[in-house]
Amino acid sequence: MAQYSEQLDGIFQALADPTRRAVLTRLGEGPASVGELAKPFDMALPSFMKHIRFLEDSGWIQTRKQGRVRTCVLEEESMITAQAWLAEQRALWEGRTDRLAQFVTTREKDNRNESVTDT
């Protein structure tokens, strides 16, 4: 996953903002126009468009313009990349906690055995 470092930076930076997370959540229901996506937010359209561009640049969404309407759709690849990285991290940490549990269990057994031989 090291080769995806720059891509992951953009993916997770996009998720760091509540407006962008809300847009992604909404797009999980299906495609929507920029106007529809902007409605719930109290900001000017140019400010909202910065969020849309950021999501597009980071690979989370794709936009298509038909006439005067720009429609946004989720891009699956960013989700797959984020999930793969998170799965890798989870496996790494689960391996560490498994080794820690094994160490603690072994120590407890050793301590019990020492107690039995001391008496």
Kindly report, residue by residue over 19-71, the tens digit of the pLDDT: 999 999 999 999 999 999 999 999 999 999 999 999 999 999 999 999 999 99
Longest C-alpha distance within the chain, in Å? Answer: 88
The 3-state DSSP class for residue 28 equals coil
For residue 88, which phi and psi values (nearest 5 degrees)? Answer: -60, -45
Q: At what angle do helices 5-15 and 76-118 cross, to 10 degrees?
A: 100
With respect to CATH, is domain 2-76 assigned 1.10.10.10? yes
Kindly report, residue by residue over 64-86, the tens digit of the pLDDT: 999 999 999 999 888 888 888 88
- The vertex-62 CA angle with 74 and 64, nearest 5°, equals 120
pTM score: 0.71
Instruction: Write down how long the chain is.
Output: 119
